[in-house]
Structure 1
Amino acid sequence: MLPGCGKSSGGSAPAELQLYVAASTAHVIEPLMVEYQNRTGVVVRVNAAASSTLARQIEQGAPADVYLSANEKWMDHLAGKKLIDPASRRDLLGNRLVLVAPASHNTPAMSISDALSKLDGRLAMGDPDAVPAGLYGKAALQSMKLWAAVEPHVAAAKDVRSALLLVERGEADFGIVYATDAASSQRVTTVATFDENTHKPIRYPIALTTQAQAAVNPLFDYLLSSTSREAFEAAGFTFYANDGGDDAR
């Protein structure tokens, strides 16, 4: 178990714990937290949004106990502000970037260049200047020398799940999302997977905040546990963290 790094609970249970997580992990985190609450009786509030949005909320004083980012940039940002506990930081997850299309369009598998080189409609993606999936997507398209042609067609979304929703609704011809997002939806099809060499490795670092309640330590261990590993791997994530050794049993 990690040592407490912030507020003491004073020997009494906290009213609730606050877990701030990247939007792309919500469909796994939320059921895990229901299970954790049922096992322990501890209430966990999950705030799922773009990693950039969450980091800014924490910077402005939001009462987060744990922060799970979809890239290193925003975790580094909070580290620079001394708002996370550096001893607790570690990579939790990995992912892949894919190009998707509405399932109703029956778009066949093809190369990313073929799909986007003559794009007439919209390309949904997270905000390419802030949202991790958008940053990865922009970097990949720049590496492939497609960004200049594609940029005018970009529908920038507040987070990757919102980008997925645009494609599901048929409001965008294509979307750039994580492989786990595509796998979670029956309303999109994966057209192609981006070569990992076209962008930085997709890593999800996790850390306690400097204001974390001491009572959050068992929850943090649970997020590193074999129970969490099974849930994340079933959803298609790569799980990097060492087993926390506490399955809340």
Structure 2
Amino acid sequence: MRRLAGLLAAFALLCGAAPVLAQDESLTVFAAASMKNALDEVDAAYTARSGIRIVASYAASSALAKQIEQGAPADVFVSADTDWMDYAIAKKTINEPTRVNLLGNSIVLIAPKESKLDKVAIGPGFDLSKLAGDGRIATGDVKAVPSGKYARAALEKLGAWQAAEPKFAMAENVRAALTLVARGEAPLGIVYATDAKVEPGVKIVGAFPADSHPAIIYPVAATATARPQAAEYLAFLRSPAAKAIFEKYGFSFLIRPTS
């Protein structure tokens, strides 16, 4: 009887442990579209180390902030500008003490790979409208999407916005704008340097001066409803391993990496 009781206890222990072992541990990350290639690799490295699967949803930061506001189940938010992170904090959907301004970027003028256009000097008096000719200029929606907001700010400062505005094709996010240029549907586009780097169908023909627009900063934070595992994930994003991946894709790392 004693042996039988022991077997039954062991069986019960195994049965009780089974749901824990079978549990699918995951985190949901809402991230700016421009993050996709780099963050996919970072997430794969994190999963290999932790066993926690990352489910990433990529879109314009504006769309993601509003989805979180409407109750979308996200654990972490990575925005391509500080404005939309500030918006989310104001709506109390972000755990503000977890916020870190993690990455930096730059914006560039791109053309299809086969374009004859090359080496455009971007500065005061720069005539983007003339360069576009009868074609369109692709970028994110200048009223909401960070890439578009940065593009408009730069063009306004350089005195090129008013003439070029009618020629803009506003995309729902920066990757959609990138695709328009890669397919030759727009002869010019304004995207992040990191986007141009991962798309073989385009080439960079000019770089916008850093002082022509607000600093491009990617803040990251846990949401107000984040699961406890989010803290470890955020710590990994600040690690030397993540830094190496982000820098490989052209992002600048704005903080001192932590072990």
Check whether the contact 2:47–2:54 (CA below 8 A) recurs between aligned residues.
Answer: yes
1:171-190 alignment runs, 5 A limit: 171-190=185-204
Q: Which runs of 5+ in 2 are unaligned?
A: 1-19
State the 1:187 CA deviation: 1.2
Q: Does residue 224 of structure 1 match 2:238? A: yes
Q: Does residue 103 of structure 1 match 2:117? A: no
Check whether the contact 1:14–1:215 (CA below 8 A) recurs between aligned residues.
Answer: no
Which residue of structure 1 aligns with residue 229 of structure 2? 215
Q: Between the two proteins, what is the percent identity of the paired residues?
A: 41
- Structure with bigger helix share is 2
Which residue of structure 1 aligns with residue 217 of structure 2? 203
Which residue of structure 2 aligns with residue 71 of structure 1? 81
Tell me the distance in 2 between the aligned counterparts of 1:117 and 1:144. 14
Q: TM-score, normalised by structure 1?
A: 0.90
If asked which structure has higher relative contact order (CA below 8 Å, sep 6+), I would say 1
Check whether the contact 1:99–1:192 (CA below 8 A) recurs between aligned residues.
Answer: yes
Which residue of structure 2 aligns with residue 6 of structure 1? none
Tell me the distance in 1 between the aligned counterparts of 2:143 and 2:234. 30
Tell me the distance in 2 between the aligned counterparts of 1:188 and 1:89. 34
Tell me the distance in 2 between the aligned counterparts of 1:65 and 1:239. 22
Check whether the contact 1:223–1:244 (CA below 8 A) recurs between aligned residues.
Answer: no
Tell me the distance in 2 between the aligned counterparts of 1:75 and 1:97. 20
Check whether the contact 1:71–1:132 (CA below 8 A) recurs between aligned residues.
Answer: yes
Q: Does residue 116 of structure 1 match 2:129? A: yes
Which residue of structure 2 aligns with residue 39 of structure 1? 49
Tell me the distance in 2 between the aligned counterparts of 1:108 and 1:222. 39
Tell me the distance in 1 between the aligned counterparts of 2:211 and 2:162. 19
1:1-249 alignment runs, 5 A limit: 15-112=25-122, 113-119=126-132, 120-245=134-259
Which residue of structure 1 aligns with residue 10 of structure 2? none
SS of 2:184's equivalent in the other structure is coil
SS of 2:175's equivalent in the other structure is helix
Aligned residues: 235
> Residue by residue, what CA displacement relative to the aligned partner does 1:74-95 show, whole Å, maximum 9, x if unpaired?
0000111111111111110000
> Residue by residue, what CA displacement relative to the aligned partner does 1:11-60 show, whole Å, maximum 9, x if unpaired?
99664211111110110111221222223221110011100010010000
Tell me the distance in 2 between the aligned counterparts of 1:34 and 1:238. 20
Stretch of structure 1 that moved more, 117-126 or 61-70: 117-126
Check whether the contact 1:85–1:208 (CA below 8 A) recurs between aligned residues.
Answer: yes
State the 1:115 CA deviation: 4.5
State the 1:184 CA deviation: 1.3
Tell me the distance in 1 between the aligned counterparts of 2:238 and 2:166. 41
SS of 2:229's equivalent in the other structure is helix
SS of 1:35's equivalent in the other structure is helix
Tell me the distance in 2 between the aligned counterparts of 1:141 and 1:115. 9
The 1:16/1:51 distance shift into structure 2, 3 A limit, reads same
Q: TM-score, normalised by structure 2?
A: 0.87
Tell me the distance in 2 between the aligned counterparts of 1:219 and 1:86. 16
